């Protein structure tokens, strides 16, 4: 818990090793090129190389398979620390770690255990292609299907977005189990190079989160039966998948909020130094911002630690926990928009302009991406449906 709550913008001395490593990568590597990554809408390759060097891509994999044996809360701390410097780099770690978390929970077959060992030894990068043209973000349905062919099985999917797809070693995709299956009868398939081709169908010239390079693709893959999860996708999603996803994405929103709040804090302290003995007018706004940041951090810390506590418990799948993690994602993203724009009102023109130490350009644009990166409306709708059936909130 202390790891996720300490420090305004990053780890204090008492924080855990993963968060500190990620913070250092943020300071030394990701932060210095974050504006360039954003401007050119390019993959944050330097930061990802460092994540690999530090073994962060296999942090969640059990030690007996060569991984770091870390908890989700520890990785959430690392995502948060990195997001303070470059949200796009942090999202690469977050999205990859969502897939690894699912593999650790549900990749019980021999081939999927071997894949985990390979991710650890080679620091393979995993992307996701769950959303599909025609169904949007409703990932509980698929149009595409795993198709039998003469020599085996294939998958062809029109993917709405695959973040860093061109740079990934494997792409995880949902699909109907077979050509005659219902849209909700889904499996999840891990498509590996070289049996995978991605043909770009749309580009990623976005308002924010530009370094995620979330282009649309036509995915064509030869499917290896061993690379299909042994449980239905619905189980992967409800038993840890949605929970890990909402928590790890929220970590990025908390980290980017911290970056904006830190600028506002620094701005107010600089004003105070200029007129010793007076309280700068924006100090009151900063105090309000601090309450919002505390809410955001508290929500993340509670959810991340609950995930760890529920790892082997049926509580993981309980409607109450599912609703609460959706709430965390909705709240931390909306708070990110509030905190970044609140920081702007504190920093004024210095925050509005590009090229000043207080510029909030990137954080404000990225914060708006947090609301659509898995639609908040969709999550609220799911919770609204659940509340109709439940007797208590
Ligand atoms: C930065 C970024 C990276 C991404 N990376 C990936 C990736 O790597 N892989 C991947 O598969 N996808 C990725 N996505 C896609 C993402 O996961 C969502 O699928 C996508 O953002 C949803 O598209 P949409 O906004 O059209 O929302 P949808 O969920 O399709 O909904 C469209 C709109 O309709 C409304 N709406 C829809 N359904 C409901 C409902 N049930 N209740 C109420 N309102 C509803 C909402 O207002 C919503 O904004 C990425 C998206 C972003 C922004």
pTM: 0.95
Q: Which of 88, 160, 173, 188 to mutate to test the pocket of ligand 1 (most atoms within 8 A of CB)?
A: 160
Give a three-class secondary structure readout of the chain.
CHHHHCCCCCCCCCCCHHHHHHHHHHHHHHHHHHHHHHHHCCCCHHHHHHHHHCCHHHCCCCHHHCCCCCCHHHHHHHHHHHHCCCHHHHHHHHHHHHHHHHHHHHCCCHHHHHHHHHHHHHCCCEEECCCECCCECCCCCCCCEEEECCCCEEEEEEEEEECCHHHCCEEEEEEECCCCCCCCCEEEEEEECCCEEEEEEECCCCCCCHHHCCEEEEEEEEECHHHECCCCHHHHHHHHHHHHHHHHHHHHHHHHHHHHHHHHHHHHHHHHHHCCCCCCCCHHHHHHHHHHHHHHHHHHHHHHHHHHHCCCCHHHHCHHHHHHHHHHHHHHHHHHHHHHHHHHHHHCHHHHCCCCCCCCHHHHHHHHHHHHCCCHHHHHHHHHHHHHHCCCC
Which domains does the chain possess?
2-125 (1.10.540.10), 127-227 (2.40.110.10), 233-389 (1.20.140.10)
Which residue's CA is the nearest one to ligand 1's atom 13?
Answer: 161
User: Per residue of the chain (393 residues), what is the pLDDT tens digit?
Assistant: 444 444 445 555 456 889 999 999 999 999 999 999 999 999 999 999 999 999 999 999 999 999 999 999 999 999 999 999 999 999 999 999 999 999 999 999 999 999 999 999 999 999 999 999 999 889 999 999 999 998 899 999 999 999 999 999 999 999 999 999 999 999 999 999 999 999 999 999 999 999 999 999 999 999 999 999 999 999 999 999 999 999 999 999 999 999 999 999 999 999 999 989 889 999 999 999 999 999 999 999 999 999 999 999 999 999 999 999 999 999 999 999 999 999 999 999 999 999 999 999 999 999 999 999 999 999 999 999 999 988 888
Ligand 1 first shell, C-beta below 6 A: 95, 127-131, 136-137, 160-163, 209, 212, 214, 369, 372-375, 377-378, 381
């Amino acid at each position: 818990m202390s790891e996720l709550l300490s420090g305004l913008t990053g780890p204090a001395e008492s924080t855990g090793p993963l968060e500190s490593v990620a913070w250092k990568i943020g300071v030394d590597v990701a932060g210095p090129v974050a504006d360039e990554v954003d401007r050119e809408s390019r993959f944050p390759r330097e930061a990802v190389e460092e994540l690999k060097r530090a073994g962060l891509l296999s942090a969640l994999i059990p030690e007996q398979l060569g991984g770091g044996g870390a908890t989700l809360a520890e990785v959430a701390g690392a995502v948060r620390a990195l997001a303070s410097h470059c949200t796009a780099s942090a999202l690469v770690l977050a999205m990859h770690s969502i897939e690894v978390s699912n593999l650790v929970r549900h990749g019980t077959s021999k081939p999927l255990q071997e894949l985990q060992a390979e991710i650890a030894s080679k620091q393979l990068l995993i992307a996701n292609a769950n959303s599909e043209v025609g169904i949007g973000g409703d990932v509980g349905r698929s149009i595409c299907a795993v198709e039998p062919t003469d020599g085996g099985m294939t998958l062809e999917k029109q993917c709405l977005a695959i973040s860093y797809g061109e740079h990934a070693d494997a792409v995880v995709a949902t699909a109907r189990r077979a050509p005659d299956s219902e849209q909700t009868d889904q499996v999840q398939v891990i498509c590996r190079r070289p049996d995978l081709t991605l043909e770009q169908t749309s580009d990623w010239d976005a308002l924010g989160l530009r370094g995620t390079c979330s282009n649309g693709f036509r995915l064509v893959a030869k499917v290896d039966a061993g690379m299909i999860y042994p449980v239905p996708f619905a189980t992967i999603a409800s038993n840890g998948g949605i929970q890990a996803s909402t928590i790890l994405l929220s970590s990025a929103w908390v980290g980017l909020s911290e970056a904006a709040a830190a600028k506002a804090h620094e701005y107010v302290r600089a004003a105070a130094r200029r007129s010793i003995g007076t309280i700068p007018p924006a100090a009151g706004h900063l105090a309000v911002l601090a309450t919002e940041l505390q809410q955001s951090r508290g929500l993340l810390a509670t959810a991340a630690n609950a995930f760890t506590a529920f790892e082997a418990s049926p509580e993981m799948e309980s409607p109450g926990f599912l609703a609460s993690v959706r709430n965390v994602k909705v709240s931390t993203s909306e708070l990110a928009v509030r905190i970044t724009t609140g920081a702007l009102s504190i920093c004024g023109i210095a925050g509005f302009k590009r090229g000043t130490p207080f510029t909030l350009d990137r954080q404000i644009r990225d914060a708006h991406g947090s609301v659509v990166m898995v639609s908040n409306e969709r999550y609220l709708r799911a919770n609204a449906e659940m509340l109709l059936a439940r007797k208590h909130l």
